[in-house]
Amino acid sequence: MKQVLADEQAMAAFGAALAASVTEGGVIFLRGDLGMGKTTLSRGVLRGCGHTGSVKSPTYTLVEPYDTPSGPVFHFDLYRLSDPEELEYLGIRDYFTEQALCLIEWPDKGDGVLPSPDLEIQIELSGTGRSLLLTPVTQKGQAMVDNLSN
């Protein structure tokens, strides 16, 4: 599934729609260069989950947990992770429960330690906007994409 989103507002709105497409948590990998809008999309997802507070980029903390009205959300940014094993020390296995929604920026940095995703989203430049390619990996991910296109 491909989506072209013209600006930051469209990106945030799409994030909210993505949140609404989730039935029971899941793992979403967010790929794309710096400045492509991964954090903007994550912020939209959190808003869509009913989180009203601030959403900071977890660049230095690696992960920010949110207890939203729609359930637990963990927002990762692994850009600064030097070794996937560091994730073990963070106790990240506890984060990947059935009900939790995990949004992961720079998932390749956690290769070998992260679980496989339900959905992969690749973000690229498209003029002044962004194009998103959504690739479902599991049935859960397929359900998200199906719900999004309905």
Q: Enumerate binding residues for ligand ADP (CB under 6 A).
A: 5, 7-8, 10-11, 32, 34-40, 105, 128-130
Identify which of residues 105 and 118 has a Cβ nearer to Mg ion in the complex.
105
Nearest Cα residue to 116 out of 125, 124, 107: 107
Residue 35 interacts, among ligand ADP, Mg ion, none and using kind-specific CB cut-offs from 5 to 8 Å, with: ligand ADP
Distances (CA, A) of 101 to 6, 83, 131: 26, 23, 23
In the complex, least distance from residue 69 CB atom to Mg ion, rounded to whole angstroms: 24
In the complex, least distance from residue 24 CB atom to ligand ADP, rounded to whole angstroms: 26
Report d(CA 114, CA 1) in Å as an integer. 24
- Position with the least CB separation from ligand ADP: 37
Q: Which residue from 3, 21, 39, 68 is in contact with Mg ion, where contact means CB under 5 A? A: 39
Give residue 68's region: left, alpha or beta (phi > 0; psi -120 to 50). Answer: beta
In the complex, least distance from residue 138 CB atom to Mg ion, rounded to whole angstroms: 24
Identify which of residues 34 and 150 has a Cβ nearer to ligand ADP in the complex.
34
Report d(CA 67, CA 84) in Å as an integer. 25
Nearest Cα residue to 46 out of 20, 8, 78, 80: 20
Residue 32 interacts, among ligand ADP, Mg ion, none and using kind-specific CB cut-offs from 5 to 8 Å, with: ligand ADP
Q: Which residue from 38, 43, 109, 140 is in contact with Mg ion, where contact means CB under 5 A? A: 38
Report d(CA 65, CA 6) in Å as an integer. 29
Residues contributing to the site for Mg ion (CB under 5 A): 38-39, 57
